[in-house]
Structure 1
Amino acid sequence: MPVELAVVILTYNEADHVAACITSVGWADRIVVFDSFSQDNTPALAQAAGAEVIQHAFEDYARQREAALQAVDADWILFVDADERSSPEQAAEIRDLIRHGEHNGYWIPRHNYIFGKLTRHSGWYPDYQLRLLRRANAHYDMERQVHELVNLEGEPGYLKTPFVHYNYTSFAQFRAKQRRYVQYDARMLQQQGIHPKPHKFITQPLRQFIWRFITLQGYRDGWHGLRLSLLMAWYEFQKYVHLRRLSSADR
């Protein structure tokens, strides 16, 4: 018989995070670590912490989440990343919503800690993620391999209580992930038939900086907000550099 609520944690080499994540969701009816054949001791640590472990080869995030939806028998699925933490307050809100709410899915806000600092501006809050899903009424769009898109029956609702997300702990981690996003986003632009016009190398990074630092009030985070806004502007520039390389290769 399916349980009412299962937490699914996608992992790959998450030995530093998985046990603490499992502890934070100990209130769930079932906890499943859906592992992409980690090369460290993530599976053993997960089992020691009380979770089930299912291993499934990774293709992309959308397919991995969809595979978890198919594999884990529960009325509701709550996806939690290994570097995220739940709380008793969130548990109480989720229990109430799945029993009395009117939606088939719920967006969950996140408190992002970047380089060890809670980041409330520059676009990192509320940072809603559609993670609480009534299993029978939700599927992932296979065309969106990154920044996954859920096809949900009906309009989703919103939680008030956030995840705590220990996002980027170092600049090296931030840089590596942004480089992957740059490459993916550039490919998406290429597939849409967009070519990098010369002025875009200036206007798009400038717009990114103004949007994050002024419109999204990154200035309220002081030097931290300024640094993040400048970094995101730089990676916007890098996106168009990569798009130019892709366009040149097609000629």
Structure 2
Amino acid sequence: MTSAAPKLSALVVAHNEEAQLAACLETLRFADEIVVVLDRCTDRSREIASGYGAKLLEGAWPLEGERRNTGITACAGDWILEVDADERVSEGLAHEIRAVLPQAKFGYFQVPFHNYVGDRLIRYGWGASWGVNSKAALFAKSAKHWGDQRVHPSLVLKGERQFLTQPILHHIDRNISDMIRRLDRYTTARAMDLRDKRARGEDIGTFGANVRRIFSRFHKCYIGRKGYREGQYGFLIALMAGLYPILSYLKANLEKEG
């Protein structure tokens, strides 16, 4: 007698994502269940998720890691595919996941990302907290745990690292203005984390060190990760990555919390 195929849960965490949620959920129909965490949503996200038969969790979670861990706990599947509302599971990836899960070892899969700014696919230059080329998006139920930071929370991963070849399509920014707004959100959240660290007596670095990181992070993305191959887009991405730590530091020091 053959054992039953592993059950797959698809997890989406959303905050007012009515513009993108339906397109995301449409690509997750192949999963055995869809779980949507609705964090302080005031738009039509709930109605949209309900239309896809999703299991809904509604509430308010100030920390990104906390709401993601809540969603993971709510999933009933043996394996979990965690995506964001601006991500789409390609048809090829859906087939690949179904093919590999019956033989998969306990652990997690690194899934490649195709990152888009508008309609432009940008393959090179991502990194330094400003986009990824792959991430552990598919994992066994107890193999992934998020940290308690507000932005870019740390990860604890267990088991064997495995790899998939088909991509998640990530519509990361609509345009340059969207990219700048993302930089503002990220640095505001990071500034709050820095204030928390300082309140615990931990070091948050110096002004000079963060100024130097502008250049080291720019070099990492533009040269080390070949952002130059993307022309002006590569320069822009490297610039955003370089500005992220110094703006976070300045906000932590010069602005009042909240």
TM-score scaled by length of structure 1: 0.85
Match of 1:209 in 2: 218
Match of 2:106 in 1: 103
Match of 2:14 in 1: 11
CA distance in 1, matches of 2:9, 2:58: 16
Q: Contact 1:130–1:150 at 8 Å: present in 2 too?
A: no
CA distance in 2, matches of 1:39, 1:3: 35
Matches within 5 A, 1:110-189: 110-123=113-126, 127-135=133-141, 137-186=142-191, 187-188=193-194
Which range moves more in the overlay, 118-127 or 88-97?
A: 118-127
1:221 to 230, 233, 236: 230
Q: Secondary structure at the match of 1:226?
A: helix
Q: Secondary structure at the match of 1:112?
A: strand
CA distance in 1, matches of 2:234, 2:77: 40
Cα gap change, 1:15/1:141 in structure 2, threshold over 3 Å: closer, same or farther?
Answer: closer
Cα gap change, 1:14/1:3 in structure 2, threshold over 3 Å: closer, same or farther?
Answer: farther
CA distance in 2, matches of 1:30, 1:140: 20
Match of 2:241 in 1: 232
CA distance in 2, matches of 1:201, 1:4: 45
Report the alpha carbon displacement of residue 201 of structure 1 after superposing the two structures with TM: 5.3
1:40 to 43, 46, 49: 43
Matches within 5 A, 1:47-66: 47-66=50-69
Root-mean-square deviation (Å)? 2.7
Q: Contact 1:3–1:73 at 8 Å: present in 2 too?
A: no
Kindly provide the CA deviation profile for residues 127-153 of structure 1, in whole angstroms up to 9, marking residues without a partner as x.
222221211x23424433422333233
1:193 to 178, 203, 206: 203
Equivalenced residue count is 245
Name structure 2 gaps, 5 residues minimum: none
Cα gap change, 1:240/1:68 in structure 2, threshold over 3 Å: closer, same or farther?
Answer: closer
Q: Contact 2:143–2:159 at 8 Å: present in 1 too?
A: no
Match of 1:27 in 2: 30
Q: Contact 2:146–2:156 at 8 Å: present in 1 too?
A: yes
CA distance in 2, matches of 1:152, 1:134: 10
Cα gap change, 1:235/1:65 in structure 2, threshold over 3 Å: closer, same or farther?
Answer: closer
Report the alpha carbon displacement of residue 64 of structure 1 after superposing the two structures with TM: 0.8
Q: Which letter does structure 2 place at the counterpart of 1:164? A: L
Cα gap change, 1:131/1:182 in structure 2, threshold over 3 Å: closer, same or farther?
Answer: same
Name structure 1 gaps, 5 residues minimum: none
Report the alpha carbon displacement of residue 163 of structure 1 after superposing the two structures with TM: 0.3
Q: Which letter does structure 2 place at the counterpart of 1:181? A: Y
Q: Secondary structure at the match of 2:78?
A: strand
